Structure 1
């Protein structure tokens, strides 16, 4: 297993290809191109030069531990590397993910090699948000993922799966540490009422993470639109591809749906269409999760987006691009939490 992206060489890439269904692979060169912001990992596209012209695949995506000290420390302490090593193979086939070529690692490292969709897909734009056609595709994939493992008893949850109660101290601590940072860097961009909601969420965080889980499945955990790729097909349909499985966990299904709709859809579109999207989720999911229960769970679980956004202020370096990303999320998360009076619902 490699420790850094600069350790990648042709021998290692050739070995990866040979053990993943390309026994005659032989590479003579490659080029690395960074992808993404590298908040909790270092990810690159690897363009391959094969000895035999036209050999497949022409490129791969490699994801390794983050080279930034603060983000790497978070990757270890939060279990992000270990979780993705376990979850990525487990969810393959339950919903649309990139093809997996190789994965190895543990608590302090990850080597993930997967299908490169960067040239044939659209990357989600968190700041711009997600349009309704794309949102529908995401909600459908989440329903497929959830129904595959639902219902999942606590005793059946994999050991790598994040659980809310087990992480309550970690996340509520990070959330508490974030409050002064948000007051410092975001106070001029959100209203006094919104800042009061941030403070209320901070006060309620440990209680929210410790709520009993009576309906559970495997959840993605971080389905922001910039953790999703979109494939546009000739028939006009859109396919959502879920990536970044670092927060996969045993949770209520609505954790993912609330997280996505409260953070990745514009406030106007969410308000106008979220109930239709919840109905679509129910239709794809099928029997076993009544629509009225979905709506009740959604009200409480959409706080996952707000809690994660608040925590991020103290967990990752606040560069200008990160601050812009977090502000876009925070504004939408707060709007949803206020619209649904979600903090009050914790006591319901």
Structure 2
């Protein structure tokens, strides 16, 4: 796999390559590869192929047995492949063009062959983003949520993470409570007594908190943060494209919004513009046809979702 013949067949099947043949391939490892391998491929053709990509990005399973086992247990590879196969074309958030998405569920082997988004650059979780970039992220998020807002058929997609799934929710609660004492030991001195009490109580009541959410639900990214975003530059690229769909699910969309607003901006910017960003998201939902989701409800949901 991944030789010239393979790339030729894949790109022809994807409808972007006619008579040309891939004759040379150069490979470059990209990303940290915590849950899988990301490789950029530079392709040379035997003749001009104006519709075919000069470079593509491949995603493959991790070579580490533990990572592969975890991915199979939590179905992360399956979810990302499923997103590109079944969901991406039904929502309106910018994602890389997908030339191939395939998986062997028995072995966990998978391949995604995607558009190379460079010269766009990855967002930086540590330094934060500008207000303009955050506003763009809210617009894109509405493009993900609105098209299938309240769509009951999402509950029937077996591989799609469901918000009320008992087993993964119990795992999350257990992990939270296991990590909480170490978090307090390291950072507790920087927090108020009220914040510490809230964190302790939240861990104990997390399952009740999750059960308190009710539809309408939508397609939710699940990890909507800067490290999973590619921003365009002066050299080119889409204004914003979102990647890493390994924990995509069916649940309250406001969770994505709260997660991003809470950790995407520098603290002074968030404090100054938090409501502006939330209003941008709500207005974008309404502009895309979402009805019956009043601003007061959005704000109340946001306040609860900040615990996410």
TM range, smaller chain? 0.7 to 0.9
* Residue in 1 that maps onto 2:11: 17
CA distance in 1, matches of 2:40, 2:25: 10
By how many angstroms is 1:88 displaced?
2.1
What is the RMSD of the two structures over their aligned residues, measured on CA atoms? 2.6
Q: Residue 168 of structure 1 contacts residue 210 of structure 1 at CA under 8 Å; is this kept in 2?
A: no
Q: Residue 100 of structure 1 contacts residue 115 of structure 1 at CA under 8 Å; is this kept in 2?
A: yes
1:112-142 deviations in Å (ceiling 9; x for gaps): 11100122x1211111112111111111011
1:241-291 deviations in Å (ceiling 9; x for gaps): 111111111111101101111122222211111111111112211141211
Is 1:248–2:248 an aligned residue pair?
A: yes
Q: Which SS does the other structure have where 2:43 is aligned?
A: strand
Equivalent residue in structure 1 for 2:100, among 94, 102, 109 = 102
Is 1:85–2:81 an aligned residue pair?
A: yes
CA distance in 1, matches of 2:224, 2:125: 11
CA distance in 2, matches of 1:274, 1:77: 36
Q: Residue 155 of structure 2 contacts residue 250 of structure 2 at CA under 8 Å; is this kept in 1?
A: no
By how many angstroms is 1:97 displaced?
0.7
Runs of 4+ aligned structure 1 residues displaced above 6 Å come to none
Structure-2 change in CA distance of 1:258 and 1:54 (3 Å)? same
By how many angstroms is 1:190 displaced?
4.6
* Residue in 2 that maps onto 1:307: none
1:207-257 deviations in Å (ceiling 9; x for gaps): 3333332221111111111101112479x9972211111111111110110
Structure-2 change in CA distance of 1:195 and 1:47 (3 Å)? farther
CA distance in 1, matches of 2:63, 2:198: 35
* Residue in 1 that maps onto 2:274: 274
Equivalent residue in structure 1 for 2:27, among 22, 25, 32 = 32
Query: Across the two proteins, how many residue pairs are aligned to each other?
Result: 295
By how many angstroms is 1:198 displaced?
4.2
Q: Residue 165 of structure 1 contacts residue 211 of structure 1 at CA under 8 Å; is this kept in 2?
A: no
Q: Please list every run of 5 or more consecutive structure 2 residues that lacks an aligned counterpart in the other structure.
A: none
Q: Residue 85 of structure 1 contacts residue 106 of structure 1 at CA under 8 Å; is this kept in 2?
A: no
* Residue in 1 that maps onto 2:148: 149
Q: Which SS does the other structure have where 1:178 is aligned?
A: helix
Q: Residue 137 of structure 2 contacts residue 240 of structure 2 at CA under 8 Å; is this kept in 1?
A: yes
* Residue in 1 that maps onto 2:129: 130
